[in-house]
């Protein structure tokens, strides 16, 4: 319900379009079904509860390159537009969203936990190439056993070790640091790959995958993916 004059209502101070309004947050993403990098900042933004708009650029079409360059000089999604500011790269977007909404707790409050969260997020951002290559994200697919190369399975074992270590320390909540943080946004696409490709999971892994895939924002994203065209060969 929109309450006239309430913060965020049309015409209210701070509402989109009102004089002196805070600029709208617009997240440009790729196909929801396949774009693992896009899912990450989407989950982080959704966790803040702040209003934002998602715009999809379908990948692998003749016009894709032109459309990507129109929103991001680096020619990639995700990219966040906030007024004149253009922030590309999933991790840079998550950091910016954390700075905009510090109360959302997108990084753990404890300094040591925050350092651990940043370390495993960086590990995900820069690593796990074998897992990513052999088991690309496909939220609506089920291909048991595909992509189970020795290198990809070694990456999967390391992911499970990361989850076990974080969950052993976590209190109060099902996520890596208890409540949802950017580390969860970064590991969410891997959780879905484990389901798509039937990667053997330990008990901690099963519970964590269940928690991530039950997030309302994740469920909404996967539902929206059903309306998008399939990309053959993905
Ligand atoms: N490191 C970048 C990776 C972004 C990326 O590779 N995005 C893919 C889609 S998931 C893309 O834009 N590809 C362009 C294309 O397919 O033409 C990030 O964190 O955002």
**Last residue of one domain, picked from the residues 103, 137, 168:** 103
Q: What is the mean pLDDT of residues 84-104?
A: 98
| pLDDT mean over 82-107 | 98
The atom number, within ligand 1, closest to the CA of 59 reads 16
- Predicted pLDDT at 232: 79
Is 115 found in the same domain as 32? no
The domain that holds 62 is classified in CATH as: 3.40.30.10
- Beta bridge pairs of residue 178: 175
pLDDT score at 19: 61
Question: Is the residue at 4 inside a domain?
Answer: no
pLDDT at position 5: 29
Q: Are residues 114 and 91 in the same domain?
A: no
pLDDT at 11 over 50: no
User: In the numeric block, which tokens belong to residue 197?
Assistant: 């490709």
Statement to judge: residues 84 and 45 lie in one domain: yes
* Cα–Cα distance for residue pair 82/182, rounded to 1 Å: 19
Let me know: does 183 contact 176? Beta carbons within 8 Å: yes
> How many whole angstroms separate alpha carbon 80 and alpha carbon 47?
16
The pair of three-digit structure tokens given for residue 192, joined into one six-digit string: 């879905």
CA neighbor of 68 nearest in space, from 38, 33, 100: 38
Is 213 in the same domain as 140? Answer: yes
Let me know whether 91 and 61 are in one domain: yes
**62 and 77 belong to one structural domain:** yes
- Residue 8 scores a pLDDT above 60: no
Average pLDDT of 88-110? 98
- In this structure, the answer to whether residues 34 and 66 fall within a common structural domain is yes
Same domain, 123 and 135: yes
Does residue 96 belong to any structural domain of this protein?
A: yes
Evaluate whether residue 205 is within a structural domain: yes
Q: Would you place residue 120 in the very low, low, confident or very high pLDDT band (cuts 50, 70, 90)?
A: very high
| Confidence category of residue 233, pLDDT binned at 50, 70, 90 | confident
Shared domain for 98 and 108, answered yes or no, is: no
> Would you say residue 4 has pLDDT above 80?
no
Ligand 1 atom closest to the Cα of residue 65 is 17
Is any ligand 1 atom within 6 A of the Cβ of residue 89? yes
- Ligand 1 atom closest to the Cα of residue 89 is 20
Confidence of residue 15 (pLDDT cuts 50, 70, 90): very low
Domain boundary (103, 126, 153) is at: 103
**Stretch 86-90: mean pLDDT, rounded?**
98
**Do 87 and 120 reside in the same domain of the chain?**
no
Contact 106, 113 (CB under 8 A): no
What is the CA(123)–ligand 1 centre distance, in A?
17
The predicted pLDDT at position 1 comes to 27
Is residue 28 scored above 60 in pLDDT?
Answer: yes
- Which tens digits make up the pLDDT trace of 146-195? 999 999 999 999 999 999 999 999 998 999 999 999 999 999 999 999 99
Q: Is the pLDDT of residue 13 over 80?
A: no
Average pLDDT over residues 60-78: 98
Lowest mean pLDDT among 17-21, 119-123, 136-140, 187-191: 17-21
Mean pLDDT of 114-125: 98
Domain that holds residue 49: 25-103
- Please tell me if the CB atom of residue 76 comes closer than 6 angstroms to any atom of ligand 1: yes
Q: Are residues 60 and 77 in the same domain?
A: yes
Which pLDDT score, from 0 to 100, does residue 21 have? Answer: 78
CATH number assigned to the domain comprising residue 117: 1.20.1050.10
Give the CA-trace dihedral at 112, 191, 156, 203, to 10 degrees.
80
Overall number of domains in the chain: 2
* Same domain, residue pair 78 and 146: no
Q: Is the minimum distance from the CB of 90 to ligand 1 under 6 angstroms? A: yes
């Amino acid at each position: 319900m929109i309450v006239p004059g309430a913060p965020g209502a049309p015409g209210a101070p701070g509402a989109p379009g009102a004089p002196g309004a805070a600029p709208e947050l617009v997240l440009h993403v790729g196909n929801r079904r396949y774009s693992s990098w896009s899912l990450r900042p989407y989950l982080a933004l959704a966790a803040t509860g702040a209003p934002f708009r998602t715009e999809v650029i379908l990948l692998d079409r003749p016009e894709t390159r032109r459309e990507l360059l129109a929103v991001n000089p680096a020619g990639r999604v995700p990219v966040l537009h906030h007024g004149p500011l253009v922030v590309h790269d999933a991790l840079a977007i998550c950091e910016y969203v954390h700075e905009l909404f510090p109360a959302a707790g997108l990084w753990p409050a404890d300094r040591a936990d925050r350092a651990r969260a940043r370390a495993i997020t960086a590990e995900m951002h820069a690593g796990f190439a074998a897992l990513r290559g052999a088991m690309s994200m496909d939220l609506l697919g089920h291909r048991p056993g595909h992509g189970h190369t020795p290198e990809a399975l070694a990456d999967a074992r390391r992911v499970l070790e990361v989850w076990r270590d974080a969950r052993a320390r976590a209190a109060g909540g099902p996520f890596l640091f208890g409540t949802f943080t950017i580390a969860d946004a970064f590991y969410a696409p891997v959780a879905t790959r484990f389901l798509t490709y039937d990667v053997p999971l330990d008990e901690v892994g099963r519970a964590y995958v269940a928690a991530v895939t039950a997030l309302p924002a994740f469920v909404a994203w996967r539902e929206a993916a059903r309306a998008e065209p399939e990309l053959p060969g993905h």
